[in-house]
A = this chain, B = another copy of it.
Amino acid sequence: MSKLPVTYADVEAAARRLAGVAHRTPVLTSRSVNQLTNARVFFKCENFQRTGSFKFRGAYNALAQLSPQQKQQGVLTFSSGNHAQAIALAGQLLGIQTTVVMPKDAPEVKLAATRGYGAEVILYDRAQMSREELAQELSHERQLTIIPPYDHPQIIAGQGTAAKELIEEVEHLDLLLVCCGGGGLLSGSAIATKDSTAKTTPTSPYCRVIGVEPAQADDAQRSFYTKTLQVVHNPDTIADGARTPSLGKFTFPLVLHYVDEMLAVSEEAIARQMFFLWERLKIVVEPTGALAAAALLEGIITMPEARIGVIISGGNIDFKRLKQYEQLLTKEA
């Protein structure tokens, strides 16, 4: 196997760049969850991260490493979600102009948040062009560096710092559950947990790392088990962070190398466990943020007496969609 594109040293370097800039997010525990799962469960709460999701870690790590010329020319990204806000804030903090390509039907609240952090937003029509093409064109025209949402070594290394903090805080894990869209958070988390080259800070090398997807967007699970990249098109899931078409050229080999298993959960399970987390932990978690917890709370994976880490990836809810989530529950009951 060829050399992997990201190592523990990259995650450590990212952690140094993020110190004092990203929040060291809290780790929450719950008696009722421990009882229900017969395990000790540690929730790493990236919904409390700046911009409301883990995405800030990777975005800042990538932008901080641009050359002076690149910084001066500015960056561009394409995202309708959390990565857009993360790039916008990282740019604001580092004094870098940011341009974000978003679909013109993106939620008003996300457009406003991205603009609020000082990004220029360029809208496009999903029906007429692909965001990648438009981004390529704009980047060429305006000399902007593209920072993609997940398939980028510095993005992956940055996302790995959340799991690194979790392991430093709770010391040992038998199982780590991580949601999976494009695989940036999952591969970064797996490196932070299992890379045996880690020297200076603790890892959990025997910890099982499991990625969790929506059943309606299970491309990564299929890629993992067939060892051939599978693609989905506009999957219909409330977990909007997992609507990515496929793993990437960096994340796929990392997932294959480090991840032990891939699981999928239904839309009903995502909604049910999202509300369960709201109700029991008193924290606001977005649908994608509930994916990893859902696999555990639904009993799809069990590990009696184990120490289990669960990454809550974000908490950016569009409250206009609450009704849709509630309807999923009603359907079930």
Contacts and interface: CB of A to CB of B under 8 A. Distances in A.
Most buried by B among A284, A315, A322: A284
A279 B275 contact: no
A316 to B, nearest CB: 8
Contact of A47 (B47, B282, B323, B326): B282
A26 interface: yes
Number of copies: 2
Nearest to A318: B279
A317 interface: yes
Interface in A288-322: 315, 317, 319, 322
Contacts of A326: 319, 322-323
Interface string A52-95: 10000000000000000000000000000000000000000000
Interface in A27-63: 47-48, 52
A110 to B, nearest CB: 12
Contact of A26 (B26, B47, B322): B26
Nearest to A32: B116
A283 interface: yes
Given A283-B284, A322-B326, A323-B326, 8 more contacts: A47-B282, A52-B282, A278-B317, A279-B319, A282-B315, A283-B283, A319-B326, A323-B323
A282 B279 contact: no
A150 B282 CA distance: 24
Contact of A284 (B26, B284, B322): B284
The 5 closest A-B pairs by CB, nearest first: A282-B315, A282-B284, A47-B282, A278-B284, A48-B282
A275 B48 contact: no
